[in-house]
Amino acid sequence: MKWIQKLRQIDIGISVIALVLLIAVTFAGVIFRYVFSKPFSWQEEVQLALIIWVIFFGARYAFETFSHVAIDMLYELFPAKAQKVLTVLIAVVVTVVLGCIVVFSMKYIQIMFHYHLHTSILHWPYGWIYLPVPISCICMIIQFWENSVAELKTKKEVK
């Protein structure tokens, strides 16, 4: 499954590049505003797009590395069989929530493209800015199920 690894590297790469650009644009904006008294009129639009891309392309990686906030203190109190059931239940809930985000964000993006909604200064289509949302949520669903299956396998081997 080398192509899956390549896709995963692409989402990490996009997130890192977007973060570096976000920091550079913000830093340059501060310098130009306060040192040269020439603020960028387009800075906020670029920052909005980059923040969305950083968050959503980085979210799948956070699932992969278990970096999202988790409160597993109660989960650990349950016996192994109950933990397996909870693992599946949590995976189903996460799938439903992320699936709803996919559906609603796709509808939202379709509306943006249909009505040709774009940013006011750079005229970037909002549909392209928000496109990472459904893509990322689909990737997060896949990653979460991979994590859940791996967790179920380790519980089977340990107990």
Distance CA 2, CA 71 (A): 33
Grade residue 8 by pLDDT with cuts at 50, 70 and 90. confident
**Element holding 62 (H helix, E strand):** helix 43-64
Strand, coil or helix: what is 55? helix
Domain boundaries, the chain: 2-158
Percent of the chain with pLDDT over 90: 60
What is residue 36's predicted lDDT score, i.e. its pLDDT? 92
pLDDT at 157: 56
Contacting residues for 28 by C-beta, under 8 A, at least 6 apart: 40
Q: How far apart are CA 156 and CA 135, in angstroms?
A: 32
Of the pLDDT bands very low, low, confident and very high (cuts 50, 70, 90), residue 117 is very high
Do the beta carbons of residue 85 and residue 72 sit within 8 Å?
no
Does the pTM of the predicted model rise above 0.85?
no
Tell me the two tokens of residue 39: 């603020």
pLDDT, tens digit (0-9, with 9 covering 90-100), for 38-61: 999 999 999 999 999 999 999 888
Q: Who wins on pLDDT, 69 or 81?
A: 81
Among candidates 114, 7, 100, 121, which has minimal Cα distance to 57? 7
The whole-number pLDDT of residue 1 equals 63
Per-residue pLDDT at 159: 47
Under the banding of pLDDT at 50, 70 and 90, the label for residue 111 is very high
